[in-house]
Amino acid sequence: MNIILLGPPGAGKGTQAKMLIDEYQIPQISTGDILRAAVKEGTPLGKEAKSYMDKGELVPDSVVIGIVEERIQESDCAKGYMLDGFPRTVPQAEALDEMLSKLSAQIDHVVSIEVANEELIKRLTGRRTCRECGAGYHVMFDPPKAEGVCDKCGGELYQRDDDNEETVSSRLNVYEAQTLPLIDYYKVKGKIRPIDGVGEIKEIFGRITTVLS
């Protein structure tokens, strides 16, 4: 099963992906995670991506398309995968269609998680992530048992550089201008599965698995 998780920054894509990969035994492919790892390692890719990410802008299409094209052909993707944060523009979606048709594959579901901007700002500015295992938390909505420490691995929790109020606001604008058109793109193809993204994390997981089964 090949799935796309679509939704604005803070909608809960990463949170749900972590639960869905356990349920369906397929890998999560997060272009944001791949780019952040490259920035941390200081690779040429990371150096190119950093300036865009710091401003809340999108990294050029050609860069992310290349990353995904390589990743989906790795052996752990043979039974399917969950794309989280890709595609984010119409050219990325078109490139994905092209690579899938070459591989005689297709997208089965586009899970579109809907959350209003006011709530997204609260979620993003309170988001914390584990440096070691990548687990996500929220200072109010999903706090760890001990402040600043990951429940799962004891790693240190940090706040992403781009989760400050100013960058969040540009990311929300970028989403509306460049990513929102993908809903129509996939609606026409009959792939959109709209999900109300407001409520308990487990409740939203239930909504998604109901739609996927």
Cα(83)–Cα(30) distance, integer angstroms: 6
- The DSSP call for residue 149 is B
207 is catalytic: no
Nearer to ligand ADP, 26 or 96 (CB): 96
Cα(16)–Cα(86) distance, integer angstroms: 15
Contacted by 150, from ligand ADP, Zn ion, none: CB < 5 to 8 Å by type: Zn ion
Provide the phi-psi class of 25: left if phi over 0, else alpha when psi is between -120 and 50, else beta: left
- Show the DSSP H helices in 132-200 as ranges: 165-174, 181-188
Binding to Zn ion (CB under 5 A) within 143-172 occurs at: 150, 152-153, 155
What is the maximal distance between C-alpha atoms in the chain? Answer: 48
Neighbours of 147 (CB within 10 A): 9
Least distance to ligand ADP, CB of residue 29, Å: 10
Which listed residue (18, 36, 50, 88) is catalytic?
Answer: 88
88 is catalytic: yes
123 is catalytic: no
Contacted by 112, from Zn ion, ligand ADP, none: CB < 5 to 8 Å by type: none
How far is CA 162 from each of CA 65, 122, 139, rounded to the nearest angstrom? Answer: 22, 14, 16
For 172, the 3-state DSSP assignment is helix
Nearer to ligand ADP, 88 or 104 (CB): 88
Residue nearest to ligand ADP (CB): 32
Least distance to ligand ADP, CB of residue 58, Å: 4
- Residue 195 binding Zn ion, by CB under 5 A: no
Least distance to Zn ion, CB of residue 144, Å: 9
Which listed residue (50, 127, 191, 207) is catalytic?
Answer: 127
Contacted by 59, from Zn ion, ligand ADP, none: CB < 5 to 8 Å by type: ligand ADP
- Catalytic residue numbers, as ranges: 13, 88, 127, 160, 171
